Amino acid sequence: MNIVTLYENNDLAMRKSLDRYLSQLARGGDTHIWNDEMVLPGEKTEVILQEHLKNADLVLLLVSQDFWASETCYAQAVQVLEMSQKNSKKKIVNVLLRPNSLEDTPFKDLPQLPAPNVCVTQYRDPEQGYWDIYQGLKKIIDPSYRYKKRPKVAALQTTVFGSAVLLLWSLFVLLLPVMLPENSIKIASEPFAGKFDSIIFYKIYKLDHTVQREIALAFVLENAESQKLGDAKPVWATLEKTGDEDWAGPKQRAYTMQDSAVNYTAEYSCQCVHADFEKNEAGEYHFVVEFDKALDKQHLEVLKNKLSCSSRPCGWSESNCPGDTEFSAFHRLYFQDTRFFFQILVFVLFTLLLASIFITKKISSYAKSDSHSNHVQQKTL
């Protein structure tokens, strides 16, 4: 496709700015861009211009009030219009550089770029105007082409979208205790070893600050499993709150059942703790079990899921553990440190979202308050 650019000398700087985008069209080899600065020394400008206008498939009128005021430019535009009326394949596009009286000319019904009745100088960021012109020309050359956002704008809009999604997720986390309250303690299934080989720990989490009393925790080990541990048996248990050495005291009662009192055939041994949780005692706790002999680390696999919130075989009528007590990764969203992190994240994301929206709007919209973006996909093209 042969493209000829007509302009008035007062718009030379803007034409050169547009050339930075037009040069991209010519790099494929199928499009040739021409303007009068390409006339070689010794050649007659008018003769060469007429030759290129005759062979042009697309003529760009870079219009401003100076363009219409120039007798030469106006005469050239009229000539091209007459050519297009004789040859329907020859196209003319008004490229609106600056405000002008296009509506009072015979060219008012021709396609307009970057958008109908919007000039490049009306953009808050002129580069966005040149980008829309470039995208519009690509649509003219290839009708199947779809408008692409300017990379800077696209990146900012991606930031806006990403920030909005993360902000919604963060707000969900902060509202989680209200929407999905967890009023039962959660027990991690896998134990971990202490500094003494005969002691193991189970992590227990209380996720809310409500009062919960008469919580029965039972560690039960069947004899067949005890044999896998070298016949080790639990002899003592207690419940501790991490970071608060004084918590235990009156808050719990250990209750060790003798085999004969629990099971006539002595098929298992157990250690039980009865605990009370007062208001504002959410946090991490450790259920501590001591054995009568040392354990190896490989024995920890045998001890998975041996702690439960259960009234049996501890001798109490109720365990007072409503709902499921198994701990999962999802429950970490209820942790205070996690929620504090999301509070900070909400503030950062909200600030980033507002800044991105403001910048995107500033560089991608026009100076006129009633203008709309993306006019480059106009029906006239």
For the segment 317-355, what is each residue's pLDDT rounded down to a tens digit? Answer: 556 676 668 888 888 888 888 888 888 888 888 888 777
Provide, rounded to the nearest whole percent, the portion of the chain with pLDDT above 90: 35
- Cα-only R_g, the chain: 39
Confidence at residue 262, expressed as pLDDT on a 0 to 100 scale: 43
Confidence at residue 275, expressed as pLDDT on a 0 to 100 scale: 84
Using a 10 angstrom Cβ sphere, with 0-12 exposed, 13-18 middle and 19 or more buried, the burial of residue 136 is buried
Positions of the chain with pLDDT lower than 50, given as ranges = 256-264, 367-381
Percentages helix, strand, coil for the chain, rounded to the nearest 5?
Answer: 40, 20, 35
- CB neighbour list of residue 6: distance below 8 Å, 6 or more residues apart: 35, 59, 60, 61, 62, 67, 73, 76, 77, 80
- The encoded tokens of residue 340 equal 């504090």
Confidence at residue 303, expressed as pLDDT on a 0 to 100 scale: 93
Confidence at residue 312, expressed as pLDDT on a 0 to 100 scale: 66
Sorted by where each begins, the domain ranges of the chain are 2-110, 186-321
Nearest to 126 by CA among 95, 93, 80, 92: 95
CATH class of the domain comprising 186-321:
mainly beta
* pTM exceeds 0.85, yes or no: no
To which H or E segment does residue 294 belong? none
For the segment 218-235, what is each residue's pLDDT rounded down to a tens digit? Answer: 898 888 888 899 888 888
For the segment 42-64, what is each residue's pLDDT rounded down to a tens digit? Answer: 889 899 999 999 999 999 999 99
CA distance 128 to 57: 26
* Cβ atoms of residues 64 and 10 within 8 Å: yes
Strands 112-113 and 91-96: parallel
- The encoded tokens of residue 257 equal 């059942």
Confidence at residue 191, expressed as pLDDT on a 0 to 100 scale: 93
* Cβ atoms of residues 226 and 233 within 8 Å: yes
DSSP 194-241: -SSTTEEEEEEEE-S-S-EEEEEEEEEEEHHHHHHTTS--EEEEEEEE
Confidence at residue 255, expressed as pLDDT on a 0 to 100 scale: 54
The CATH code for residues 2-110 is 3.40.50.10140
